[in-house]
A = this chain, B = another copy of it.
Amino acid sequence: MTQSKNFIFKFALVAIVFTVFSCKKENTAGTNSKSETSISQEHPKLILTAQGVKNIREQLGSIPIFDNSLQAVKEEIDAEIKAGIEVPIPKDYSGGYTHVRHKRNWVVLQKAGVLYQILDDEKYAQYVKDMLMQYEKLYKTLPLHPKTRSYARGKLFWQCLNDSNWLVYVSQAYDCIYNYLTEEERNKLENNLFKPFADHISIDSPQFYQRVHNHSTWGNAAVGMIGLVMNDQELIDRALYGIKGVDLDTKAKDDDGGFLNKDGKAGFLANIEEPFSPDGYYNEGPYYQRYAMYPFLIFAEGLHNVKPELKIFEYKEGVLLKSINALLNLSDADGEFFPLNDGQKGMSYYNSALVTAVDISYHFGKQDPGLLSIAKEQNTVLLDDSGLAVALGIKNGKEKPFLKKSINLSDGPEGTQGGVGILRNEDIELVFKYAAQGSSHGHYDKLSYSLYEKGEEVIQDYGLARFVNIEQKGGGNYLKENKTWAKQTIAHNTVTQNETSHFTGKYDIGSLHHSDLHYFSSENENVQIVSAKETNAYPGTEMLRTMAIIKEKDFEKPFMLDIMKITSASANQYDFPYYYFGQVLQTNFDFQTSETLKPLGTKNGYQHLFVEATAKANTDNSKFSWLNKNKFYTLTTVTNANDALLFTRIGANDPEFNLRRDPAVILRRKNTKNTTFVSIIETHGSYSPISESALNSNSTIAALQVILDTTDYTAIAITTINNNTKIFITVNTNTSKETKHSIKINNKNYEWSGSYYFK
């Protein structure tokens, strides 16, 4: 989905050896090259199987969710058949007519193919055949797509990525009507359409295909799936292992600043290997995982069916199925994915790719009954063997709630490049990011977090600056504000030092580093903690952030405790924003609103923030309450008299109104070396505009104090309005669960084992 407006292919491709056509079979890479012999000649075999179709037909009419899904697809496709086939000459960018039509066609073809198999009605096969023949006729005449913005132009679409999408779906359709066609028809399609199509997106477009990247995954799956249907071992191998003999310049970059192919890896297996951590976390984050998920799983399903000996679902200790569990856990209470890195808000597990994921995970995994409850919410299933399994599970009342608990997901191929920790208690969810750069879609947001209550954002992550597929906004592609705002550090709920983004906003540098987990603790249901360290974002400055969700009896709901300990060799300015929503309710400090609004700075995202008000902080605690969607929130933060508070709003230097006018409060601490930011965010009470009553609209905290802050320990005292005091101590150095700690603070002894103390 990356756009590359000004892509200049600066570095020559090294050694694009066009010998693949002539290479010998025994020369294919990997150990599975002999599997060709096992390819089944029965059709369908790819996603639907002959046996599966038989089972489905037997159950039809008695499996409500499947029957309904089938009926919906039938109505949709019958309407399409009635409307007639349209295969226009490619012309437009995303959102334009020809783009939308070809996109629609791939969906329609796949579904019509399935209907033919399940309903055994030739009108669907005829329809698929007719449309494929029109594509055959068109495709052989096509030059590159006329729009030039992509770094890898397709033929049907402006980018190879969309061509690959098309082939992933259409190979399924072809499989479904394979036996309906004569050999002559098949040859025609394969020679004039499918083979050249697969070659264009791979051999002709190595900068797209020969990478570890979500784009390449689609390319690999497309080539592999049509290869499985056509029983073309060469294509299958090209899918699994990449284009033989092609190595890209390891220093070349795409337009997002991502390396084209840093270490020369390529192919479907490498694409599984690299981006997924052993916990199943996908390095670009959940939004792109959702997008990448479909080709991963649908090709895996095809491989499982056609080449079971590959044991694809067991590859890398079953990481594909693990990744589905990770992805589901990366969603809020409404099933919406946390918008880590470039992520469009609102994307959720109701997306069709997740129907695929959930059904496949259930069928090919361990039949987790929790997945059935999500499938039930999705209210649709795949029209294949896995969908049948889910439908039968639901029919037989096997579902249980899918419980999302606190979870720590490591990042990096080996799970050693930081990660994402999610703390959950009751309706509160904290998402803490201490991961690696996240590929070209990564943001400069080390140790950033976002906070949710019941699926509503309390402290937001901005997400991406893009209106995906809305043509009026930059053609539906990434907007320049994605780079100038959304990726910058100040756009995130973490520390910006000296108004400069982490790694000076440079992808090359960011890609070399990752944060490190200090500890994660979720054993105590009432005290969930994640702590991580970042030492590279600002050379010479070390940031250790410890975040906790704590449930305590004086508080209505679990609250968030945040301790950001900064150790630096030099005196710096630290900016610490809180991207809240809603309206200012109350502060315990005086602020002055601005007569005219000016930008906070000139670069690194600061140019996009208007300053609405400024304040001098209090000497002990600064408190800020706000009201959003009839709920109350209070930030209590430890400040000193030299601290400033800024009320800002996004939207400066935004000539096309591309940014949302969202507010923030920024705590600014100047000319400071070592310092520790300590804050609590409470969500509390409610307001009813119907009864006009405000419940629990005030903070429960009377005082928040740092009572000790050394290299080894940071100790916080939280005193409530009921005059109860709780002490939280976090160990700042490496420790084990068994290590005993004993310290004296204000003449009182504290003793405990492990990373933290709370009492």
A346 within 8 Å of B (CB atoms) = yes
Given A352-B691, A610-B597, A651-B612, check contact A472 B660 (CB 8 Å). Answer: no
Contact check, B596 vs A693: say whether CB atoms are below 8 A apart: no
Per-residue CB proximity of A575-612 to B under 8 Å, as 1/0? 00000000111100000110111110000000000101
Whether the Cβ atoms of A471 and B690 lie closer than 8 Å is no
Verify if A344 is at the interface (C-beta below 8 Å from B).
yes
Cα of A687 to Cα of B347 in the assembled complex, Å: 12
A207 within 8 A of B: no
Report which residue of A469, A476, A627, A689 has the largest number of chain B beta carbons within 10 angstroms of its beta carbon: A689
Quick check: is A186 within 8 A (CB to CB) of the other chain? no
**A472 & B612 in contact (Cβ 8 Å cutoff):** no
* A346 and B689 contact, Cβ closer than 8 Å, known pairs A471-B697, A627-B467, A657-B593: yes
> How far does the Cβ of A470 sit from chain B's closest Cβ, in whole Å?
5
Contacts of A595 in B (CB 8 A): 599, 652-653
Taking CB atoms, residues of chain B closer than 8 Å to A270 are none
CB closest chain-B residue, reference A647: B657
Query: Residue A277 at the B interface, CB < 8 A?
Result: no
Q: How far is the CA of A691 from the CA of B169 in the complex (A)?
A: 16
- Complex contact B691–A473 (CB within 8 A): no
Contact A691 B657, beta carbon cutoff 8 Å: no
- Expressed in whole angstroms, the Cα–Cα distance for A194 and B62 within the complex equals 70
> Which residues of chain B have C-beta atoms less than 8 A from A347's C-beta?
689-690, 692
A483 on interface, CB distance cutoff 8 Å: no
Cβ–Cβ contact B697 & A470, under 8 A: yes
Most B CB atoms within 10 A — which of A476, A612, A627, A692?
A: A692
Contact with B along A654-689 (1 / 0, CB 8 A): 111100110100000000000000000000000101
Q: A593 contacts which of B345, B348, B472, B654 (Cβ < 8 Å)? A: B654
B687–A470 contact, CB under 8 A? yes
Distance in angstroms from A168 CB to nearest chain B CB is 17
A443 interfacial by beta-carbon distance below 8 Å: no
CB of A705 closer than 8 Å to a CB of B: no
User: Smallest Cβ distance from A218 to chain B, in angstroms?
Assistant: 15
Segment 142-199 of A: residues with Cβ below 8 Å from B: none
Residues in B whose Cβ lies below 8 Å from that of A597? 596-597, 610
Apart from the given pairs A468-B692, A595-B599, 4 other A-B contacts in the complex at a CB distance below 8 Å:
A346-B630, A350-B690, A470-B687, A472-B625
Contact with B along A611-642 (1 / 0, CB 8 A): 01100000000000101001000000000000
Question: Which residues of chain B are within 8 angstroms of A647 by Cβ–Cβ distance?
Answer: 657
Instruction: Give the CA-CA distance A596 to B689 in the complex, in Å.
Output: 35
Which B residues are CB-close (under 8 A) to A598? 596
A568 within 8 Å of B (CB atoms): no
- Which chain B residue shows the least CB distance to A660? B583
Q: Is the CB of B472 within 8 A of A586?
A: yes
Considering only residues 75-112 of chain A, those with a C-beta below 8 Å from chain B are 95
Given A344-B692, A347-B690, A689-B347, is A470 in contact with B649 using a C-beta cutoff of 8 Å? no
| A694 within 8 Å of B (CB atoms) | yes
Please, which residues of chain B bring their CB within 8 A of the CB of A351?
690-691
Do A655 and B593 contact each other (CB < 8 Å), given the known contacts A346-B690, A690-B346?
yes
Q: Separation in Å of the A438 CB from the closest CB of chain B? A: 20
The proximity string for A residues 440-471 relative to B, scoring 1 for CB distances below 8 Å and 0 otherwise, is 00000000000000000000000000011111
- List, in ascending order, chain B residues with CB within 8 A of A655's CB: 592-593
Find out whether the CB atom of A585 lies under 8 angstroms from the CB atom of B690.
no
Instruction: Check B697–A472 contact: CB distance below 8 A.
Output: yes
- Report how far A584 CA is from B583 CA in the complex, Å: 22
Q: Which residue of B is nearest A345, CB measured? A: B689
Q: How far is the CB of A589 from chain B (nearest CB, A)?
A: 13
CB contacts (< 8 Å) of A592 on chain B: these are: 655
CA distance A660 to B655 in the complex (A): 22
Q: Which residues of B contact A693 (CB under 8 A)?
A: 469
Most chain B CB within a 10 A radius of its CB, from A351, A467, A655: A467
What B residues does A657 contact at CB under 8 A? Answer: 583-584, 593, 612-613, 647
What are 29 A-B contacts defined by CB distance under 8 Å? Answer: A344-B692, A346-B690, A347-B690, A348-B690, A350-B690, A352-B691, A467-B627, A468-B692, A470-B585, A470-B627, A470-B694, A470-B697, A471-B694, A471-B697, A472-B625, A472-B697, A473-B585, A476-B694, A583-B657, A592-B655, A593-B654, A593-B655, A593-B657, A595-B599, A595-B653, A596-B596, A596-B599, A612-B657, A613-B657
Residues of B close to A471: CB separation below 8 A: 694, 697
Provide the residues of chain B in CB contact with A583, threshold 8 Å: 657, 660
Q: How far is the CA of A392 from the CA of B595 in the complex (A)?
A: 61
When distances are taken between beta carbons in the complex, the residues of chain B under 8 Å from A469 are: 692-694
A344 CA to B161 CA, complexed, in Å: 50
A344, A350, A694: residue with the most chain B Cβ atoms closer than 10 Å = A694
**Distance in Å from the Cβ of A724 to the closest Cβ of chain B?**
21
CB-CB < 8 A to A470: which residues of B?
585, 627, 687, 694, 697
Nearest CB of chain B from residue A473's CB, rounded to whole Å: 7
Min Cβ gap A96→B in Å is 11
Most B Cβ at <10 Å: residue of A345, A583, A598, A660: A583
Which parts of A672-730 form the interface with B (CB within 8 Å)?
687, 689-694, 697
Q: How far apart sit A630 and B344, CA to CA, in the bound complex (Å)?
A: 13
Min C-beta distance of A95 to chain B, whole Å:
6
- CB under 8 Å from chain B, chain A span 324-362: 344-348, 350-352
Q: Give the interface centre of A348, A467, A597 by most chain B CB atoms within 10 Å.
A: A597
Complex-state Cα separation, A593 to B654, whole angstroms: 7
In the complex, which residues of chain B have a beta carbon less than 8 angstroms from the beta carbon of A596?
Answer: 596-599
Chain B neighbourhood of A610, CB < 8 A: 597
Partner of A689, one of B344, B584, B652, B656: B344
With beta carbons under 8 angstroms apart, the residue of B585, B586, B625, B661 that contacts A661 is B661
When distances are taken between beta carbons in the complex, the residues of chain B under 8 Å from A612 are: 651, 657
Complex CA distance for A352 and B693, rounded to whole angstroms? 13
Asked if A694 meets B346 with Cβ closer than 8 Å, knowing A470-B627, A612-B651, A661-B661, the reply is no
- Is A649 touching B625 in the complex (CB atoms < 8 A)? no
Closest to A584 in B: B657
Smallest CB separation, A622 vs chain B (Å) = 16
Q: How far is the CA of A756 from the CA of B13 in the complex (A)?
A: 70
In the bound complex, CA of A697 to CA of B473 (Å): 11
